[in-house]
Amino acid sequence: MIKYTEDHEWISIEGQSATVGITQHAQDALGDVVFVDLPEVGSTLAHKATAGVVESVKAAADIYMPVSGKILEVNEALRADPSLANSDPMGAGWFFKVELSQPAEIDGLLDEADYARLSS
Amino acid sequence: MMRHGPCLALELSLPAAPINPVALERTALHALHLELGARMVPFAGYEMPVQYPAGLMAEHHHTRRAAGLFDVSHMGQLHLMGADASLALETVMPMDVLGLGLHKQRYGLLLNEEGGIVDDLMFVNRGEDLFLIVNGACKQADLAYLLERIGQRCTVLPQFDRALLALQGPQAVTALTRLLPGIEQLVFMTGTPSVWQGEPLYVTRSGYTGEDGFEVSLPAAIAEDFARALLAQPEVQPIGLGARNSLRLEAGLCLYGNDLDPTTTPVEAGLNWALQKVRRSGGARAGGFAGAHKVLGQLQGTTPLRRQRVGLLALERVPVREHTGLEDLSGQPLGAVTSGLLAPTVDRPIAMGYVPPPFAAVGTRMNARVRGKAIPMEVVPLPFVPPRYMRG
């Protein structure tokens, strides 16, 4: 199940864990991504806390936690090659995986149709 | 998702902020920018292209490899006329205006009474007038300043409806010579009148990228046709303001509003090279310009410098942007970054900023505080990439 946030992030939920990245619209608006700052594995972050940063040459944007939870894994390949966020934002350009501590928060996220309206 | 201040005041918000068409002006190339797929942003009161579909990185590299076309029509063009115009202009700039040869171009700085920089500009002696190109965001204030200070001594004629195009890069000369045969004979920082399809142009060999290139002042009515003729050349691609910023920063060139402002003097900004000897202490026309006491005192060392501009290289691959605080290795604040980005050609994070003179020597280490983390920086010589001007 894939959900979206108003902050132009996607979250793919698989049971008690989820993968988070930025949307196609976000990468397009940012332009060439040259740097990502990813959260520390093992850290516990609340919903809407700052989890990282994504920067292009011209702009920087915070990555917020779409849900509360513990960081299970970060995408080291993205750290090494930030352009993955442009070339494959919904796939190889994922940012981090999180263990959900408040699964009910999912209900507050946007579905694809809601997000498409927001970003159109 | 957006929070941090974008560089060059290139606002990028998500979803894309609708541009209020009433409040913003458009250049003569507006329709062409849209046709080319540009992303338009508000800049200096105009709707301007920040990038085209190729993207900032590709546009930056294309300019360094071939030739890039920039619409810089938002910049202000002014003509100063009258027998006293050169000496009048010398009362507001610490430059040698009187001694500038025919069709020679020079970099200038308008100063306030405290020696602070009101604007930076380029000026050409065209014989019949002095031709000034000032920053778009400053042009109305510059006009008012010039009218107030020297409007009694010469005619100050704004030409804000003229278009200005820049063609930059190692192949700019090849492309422009096809349209304007003979233009290849210009050398860096000189200009010439020219004609294209019966319309008068004024062309200078200068720019804002560190590359060889030209700037063409032309009537707005022919700007689109001329731009299309340039874009039809195989070397030429359109380049947005995003790459213009990364190119100029690599070239170590200041951006007014970031690296220069009314609280910063030419000496603090490291622009001593722009102050000709004839205007310095002991020169034939020493002083006599706004802020002369302070600027000449700083040049002579009798007025101590509090801070000066330096080039900085981040030693980790973390972009260090404008307004980022700089501190010494014990954590004491030194100053701030005024421009910074991950430089496409250098392929490292570069910056310019202001620090006290004891920390300005090449090789000095300091830290930038980025999101709470100390990022090590080293003072390096400017420019970051060697210039490739055509000096003849």
CB within 8 Å: A30 and B12: yes
Residue of B nearest to A30 (CA): B12
User: Whole-model pTM?
Assistant: 0.93
Instruction: Dump pLDDT digits (tens) for A77-96.
Output: 999 999 999 999 999 999 99
Q: Which of residues 33-52 of B touch A (CB under 8 A)?
A: 50-51
Burial class (CB in 10 A: 0-12, 13-18, 19+), B102: exposed
Fold topology of B7-73+162-239: Gyrase A; domain 2 (3.30.1360)
Q: How far is CA A77 from the centre of its chain?
A: 15
Q: How far apart are CA B250 and CA B326, in angstroms?
A: 20
Q: For chain A, give the number of residues.
A: 120
Distance from CA of B343 to the nearest CA of A (A): 8
Q: For chain B, give the number of residues.
A: 392
Instruction: Dump pLDDT digits (tens) for B170-188.
Output: 999 999 999 999 999 999 9
Question: What is the reported pLDDT for B21?
Answer: 56
Mean pLDDT over each residue of chain B, to the nearest integer? 94
Residue B12 reports pLDDT greater than 50: no
Q: How far is CA B45 from the centre of its chain?
A: 17
Query: For the structural domain made of B75-155+275-305, what CATH number should be given?
Result: 3.30.70.1400
| Strands B117-125, B130-134: pairing kind | antiparallel
pLDDT band at B7 (very low <50, low <70, confident <90, very high): very low
Q: How far apart are CA B279 and CA B285, in angstroms?
A: 5
- For chain A, the domain total comes to 1
pLDDT band at B14 (very low <50, low <70, confident <90, very high): very low
Q: Which tokens is B337 given?
A: 């970054």
Instruction: Dump pLDDT digits (tens) for B331-343.
Output: 999 999 999 999 9
Question: What is the reported pLDDT for B5?
Answer: 35
Question: What is the reported pLDDT for A59?
Answer: 87
Residue A7 reports pLDDT greater than 80: yes
pLDDT band at B11 (very low <50, low <70, confident <90, very high): very low
Question: What is the reported pLDDT for B347?
Answer: 96
* Residue range of the domain that includes A14: 2-119
Question: What is the reported pLDDT for B53?
Answer: 95
Distance from CA of A70 to the nearest CA of B (A): 21
User: What CATH number has the domain bearing residue A112?
Assistant: 2.40.50.100
CB within 8 Å: B57 and A32: yes
DSSP state of B182: T
Residue of A nearest to B60 (CA): A57
| Region of poorest pLDDT, from A49-58, B169-178, B267-276, B352-361 | A49-58
Instruction: Dump pLDDT digits (tens) for A24-48.
Output: 999 999 999 999 999 999 999 999 9
Q: How far apart are CA B170 and CA B242, in angstroms?
A: 20
Q: Does residue B294 contact residue B157 with C-beta atoms inside 8 Å?
A: no
DSSP string, B142-165: HHHHHHHHHTTTSEEEE-TTSEEE
Q: How far apart are CA B392 and CA B387, in angstroms?
A: 14
CA-based diameter of chain A, in Å? 37
pLDDT band at B9 (very low <50, low <70, confident <90, very high): very low
Question: What is the reported pLDDT for B20?
Answer: 61
Share of chain B above pLDDT 90, in %: 94
- Residues of chain B with Cβ-Cβ distance to A53 below 8 Å are 4, 371
Q: Which tokens is B340 given?
A: 């910074």
Q: Which of B1, B43, B321, B350 to mutate to test the interface with A (most CBs of A within 10 A)?
A: B1
Average of per-residue pLDDT across B88-102? 98
Instruction: Dump pLDDT digits (tens) for B17-41.
Output: 455 656 899 999 999 999 999 999 9
Selecting from A32, A62, A119 the residue whose C-beta is nearest the C-beta of B3 gives A62
Residue of B nearest to A49 (CA): B1
Residue B2 reports pLDDT greater than 60: no
DSSP string, B9-40: G----SSPPPP-TTTSB--TTHHHHHHTTPEE
CA atoms within 13 A on the CB side of B340: 31
Question: What is the reported pLDDT for B22?
Answer: 62
Q: State residue A37 phi and psi, 5-degree precision.
A: -115, 125
Q: Does residue B37 contact residue B204 with C-beta atoms inside 8 Å?
A: no
Q: Does residue B275 contact residue B295 with C-beta atoms inside 8 Å?
A: yes
Query: For the structural domain made of B307-392, what CATH number should be given?
Result: 2.40.30.110
| Region of poorest pLDDT, from A57-61, B36-40, B294-298, B386-390 | A57-61
Q: Does residue B86 contact residue B98 with C-beta atoms inside 8 Å?
A: yes
- Check CB contact of B66 with chain A, cutoff 8 Å: no
Query: How open is the CA angle A19-A25-A30, to the nearest 5 degrees?
Result: 95
Residue B230: partners with Cβ closer than 8 Å, 6 or more residues away: B69, B165, B167, B175, B176, B179, B236
Average of per-residue pLDDT across B185-196? 98
Question: What is the reported pLDDT for B27?
Answer: 98
Peptide bond into B383 cis (omega under 30): yes
Average of per-residue pLDDT across B307-315? 98
Instruction: Dump pLDDT digits (tens) for B198-242.
Output: 999 999 999 999 999 999 999 999 999 999 999 999 999 999 999
The domain spans of chain B are 7-73+162-239, 75-155+275-305, 307-392
Q: How far apart are CA A95 and CA A27, in angstroms?
A: 13
Query: What ipTM score was computed for the predicted complex, to two decimals?
Result: 0.85
Residue A120 reports pLDDT greater than 90: no
B75-155+275-305 shares its CATH topology with B307-392: no
